[in-house]
């Protein structure tokens, strides 16, 4: 196989270390070292050339030189290395086989030993300097790389920004008629119908009223005191039952209740208990003081009479009686109380999103055994009560489903390019229009709110990432439809950068409703 030749041209700064390093990268069997025209500092010693030769031998290379330097020619002759004047001459000529033992014959030469020792010390010092320089350079290089990485990471990750946008808005409102049908199991958007729930339960009531009928129970007679005065010269016996009366045209007559003996003289006046006669029973026997002035019978000219105080106690007595109207009134009140109690119970059970349809509570069943009166018609009692039990029906509507139906009716009214602002809608339940016997209810629902221009937060982040704050604000004002009185608000941290974060994920976009 024909040997391969590699021409290695030396530079003025090459030394034994660099030349040996360069040989390790050569892949040829023959290497020709070519000295520069302006000379070179290599080799300082014959030992330098020997080290290069041994490096070539270790790499299985044969070495030759192209130079006219006398020192190199001398060293090459001692080492039995081929030296040629030109590269072409080296290609045409036969190369010598170098010697492996150069210093054997002169091993005892002191000058050569000193020279070799100096050269070895110089090589060791040079290697140590290079090692220290490489170590310091490596440490500073690692420190610089770490510092640059931390700075880059901080510049990318640490900065953050908040962009607050107020999109332009348009007010919307609609009133939707919704039918809640117990026969449905799901909402029907096209016909604005939704399911309803019919609830039945038993409720009780107890009501009491005063009996309205009246029956005559007789009258009571008024009573009082009469003062009798003796006008005769001797004592007078006034027997019980003596009649005294008022002085009116139609006098009210009373009788004394006990016997009385009056001594003679005007100063011998005595009081006696009196009571109205049965023919004057009732309130007519209640006469004022001084109204009784007459005595009937034999004593009329002998005695005088008066009543110091009014007579009292004369009344007409009546008994309360239960009437058929009382029973009818109790039934009306009892049904009202049944419905009210059922309503209170349902309102407690179904609160929040489910609501009880006003007016849908009705009594669907009553039984004779569930209706009990405390007194029958014609019975003499002061009051009468009713214990009533009945089965009640009511309609429950889920307002969440109603809002879905109303929202679907609102969607066609939103102009293209706009979207309904989340949380900007208010749903108000309106009047009940109709309640069917089967529980189907038709009612109104008002929807009011605002629609805003649609803004994509991801697109906003991509458009402003890495730009200056001023440029980001200009882009947002130019590309988005915002409320005129609410320009974009940008808060950047840290503020000294004056730029938006390079990473879109570090930008938070807040959409504020006007």
Q: Which CATH number does the domain housing residue 295 bear?
A: 2.40.30
Q: Which helix (H) or strand (E) holds 63?
A: strand 62-66
Give this prediction's pTM. 0.47
The answer to the question of residue 158 being in a domain is no
How many whole angstroms separate alpha carbon 353 and alpha carbon 336?
A: 27
CA distances from 286 to 194, 259, 308, 312 (A): 75, 23, 13, 5
- Both tokens of 43, joined, read 């080799």
**Residues whose CB is less than 8 angstroms from the CB of residue 377 and which lie 6 or more positions away in sequence, other chains included:** 322, 323, 324, 326, 327
Mean pLDDT of all residues in 342-355: 84
282 or 126, greater pLDDT: 282
* Cβ proximity of 164 and 492 under 8 Å: no
Shared domain for 292 and 371, answered yes or no, is no
Question: Beta strands of 314-440 (E only): which ranges?
Answer: 315-321, 354-356, 362-373, 383-398, 418-420, 426-435
Instruction: Indicate if the pLDDT at residue 341 is higher than 80.
Output: yes
Shared domain for 306 and 387, answered yes or no, is no
Shared domain for 325 and 300, answered yes or no, is no
Phi, psi of 173 (to 5 degrees): -155, 145
Instruction: Indicate if the pLDDT at residue 481 is higher than 80.
Output: yes
Shared domain for 240 and 204, answered yes or no, is no
The answer to the question of residue 344 being in a domain is yes
Mean pLDDT of all residues in 262-271: 78
Where among 344, 373, 397 does a domain terminate?
A: 397
Where among 47, 74, 102 does a domain terminate?
A: 102
490 or 38, greater pLDDT: 490
Shared domain for 16 and 67, answered yes or no, is yes
- Both tokens of 36, joined, read 């520069």
Least confident of 152-156, 167-171, 339-343: 152-156
The answer to the question of residue 127 being in a domain is no
pLDDT in tens, 117-142: 655 566 566 666 666 666 777 778 88
The answer to the question of residue 419 being in a domain is no
Q: Which CATH number does the domain housing residue 85 bear?
A: 3.30.750
The answer to the question of residue 110 being in a domain is no
Shared domain for 202 and 334, answered yes or no, is yes
Residues β-bridged to residue 439: none
Shared domain for 41 and 84, answered yes or no, is yes
How many whole angstroms separate alpha carbon 326 and alpha carbon 207?
A: 11
Q: How many residues does the chain have?
A: 514
Instruction: Provide the pLDDT for residue 285.
Output: 92
Instruction: Indicate if the pLDDT at residue 189 is higher than 90.
Output: no
Shared domain for 96 and 243, answered yes or no, is no
- Both tokens of 468, joined, read 């200056």
Question: How many domains would you assign to the chain?
Answer: 3
**Residues whose CB is less than 8 angstroms from the CB of residue 206 and which lie 6 or more positions away in sequence, other chains included:** 334, 337, 385, 386, 387, 388
Shared domain for 302 and 339, answered yes or no, is no
Q: Exposed, middle or buried, 305 (CB in 10 Å: 0-12/13-18/19+)?
A: buried
How many whole angstroms separate alpha carbon 297 and alpha carbon 242?
A: 8
Instruction: Indicate if the pLDDT at residue 244 is higher than 70.
Output: yes
Range of the domain at 361: 197-212+321-397
Shared domain for 350 and 201, answered yes or no, is yes
Shared domain for 202 and 349, answered yes or no, is yes
Where among 276, 293, 316 does a domain terminate?
A: 316
The answer to the question of residue 37 being in a domain is yes
- Both tokens of 318, joined, read 């009546």
How many whole angstroms separate alpha carbon 108 and alpha carbon 103?
A: 9
The answer to the question of residue 455 being in a domain is no
The answer to the question of residue 459 being in a domain is no
Shared domain for 202 and 234, answered yes or no, is no
pLDDT in tens, 3-31: 788 998 988 888 888 888 888 888 888 99
Mean pLDDT of all residues in 389-396: 94
First CA to last CA across the chain, in angstroms? 90
pLDDT in tens, 412-452: 777 777 777 656 788 888 899 999 988 899 999 998 887 78
């Amino acid at each position: 196989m024909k040997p391969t030749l590699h021409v290695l041209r030396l530079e003025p700064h090459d030394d034994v270390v660099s030349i040996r390093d360069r040989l390790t990268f050569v892949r040829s069997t023959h290497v020709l070292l070519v000295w520069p025209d302006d000379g070179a500092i290599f080799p300082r010693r014959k030992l330098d050339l020997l080290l290069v030769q041994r490096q070539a031998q270790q790499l299985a290379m044969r070495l030759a030189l192209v130079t006219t330097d006398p020192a190199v020619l001398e060293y090459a002759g001692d080492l039995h290395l081929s030296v040629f004047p030109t590269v072409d001459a080296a290609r045409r000529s036969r190369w010598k086989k170098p010697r492996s033992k150069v210093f054997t014959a002169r091993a005892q030469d002191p000058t050569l030993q000193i020279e070799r020792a100096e050269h070895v010390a110089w090589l060791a010092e040079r290697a140590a300097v290079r090692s220290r320089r490489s170590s310091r350079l490596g440490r500073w290089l690692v420190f610089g790389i770490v510092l640059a990485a931390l700075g880059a990471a901080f510049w990318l990750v640490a900065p953050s920004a908040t962009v607050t946008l107020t999109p332009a808005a348009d007010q919307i409102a609609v009133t939707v008629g919704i039918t809640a049908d117990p026969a449905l199991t799901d909402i029907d958007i096209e016909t604005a119908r939704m399911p309803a729930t019919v609830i039945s339960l038993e409720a009780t009531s107890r009501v009491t009223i005063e009996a309205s009928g009246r029956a005559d129970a007789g009258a009571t007679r008024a009573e009082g005191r009469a003062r009798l005065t003796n006008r005769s010269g001797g004592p007078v016996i006034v027997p019980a039952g003596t009649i005294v009366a008022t002085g009116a045209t139609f006098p009210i007559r009373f009788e004394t209740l006990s016997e009385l003996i009056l001594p003679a003289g005007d100063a011998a006046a005595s009081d006696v208990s009196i009571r109205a006669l049965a023919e004057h029973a009732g309130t007519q026997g209640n006469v004022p003081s001084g109204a009784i002035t007459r005595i009937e019978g034999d004593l009329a000219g002998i005695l005088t009479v008066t009543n110091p105080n009014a007579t009292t106690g004369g009344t007409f007595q009546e008994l309360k009686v239960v009437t058929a109207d009382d029973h009818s009134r109790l039934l009306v009140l009892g049904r009202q109380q049944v419905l009210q109690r059922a309503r209170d119970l349902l309102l407690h059970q179904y609160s929040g999103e489910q609501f009880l349809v006003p007016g849908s509570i009705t009594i669907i069943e009553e039984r004779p055994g569930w209706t009990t009166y405390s007194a029958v018609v014609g019975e003499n009692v002061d009051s009468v009560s009713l214990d009533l039990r009945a089965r009640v029906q009511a309609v429950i509507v889920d307002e969440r489903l109603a809002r879905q139906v109303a929202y679907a009716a609102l969607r066609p009214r939103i102009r293209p390019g706009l979207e309904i602002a989340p949380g900007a809608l208010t749903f108000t339940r309106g009047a009940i229009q109709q309640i069917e016997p089967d529980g189907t209810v038709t009612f109104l629902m008002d929807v009011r709110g605002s629609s805003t221009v649609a803004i994509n937060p991801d697109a906003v982040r991509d458009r402003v990432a890495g730009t200056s704050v001023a440029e980001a604000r200009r882009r947002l004002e130019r590309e988005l439809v915002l409320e005129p009185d609410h320009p974009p608000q940008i808060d950047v941290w840290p503020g000294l950068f004056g730029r938006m974060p390079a990473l879109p994920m570090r930008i938070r976009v807040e959409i504020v409703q006007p």
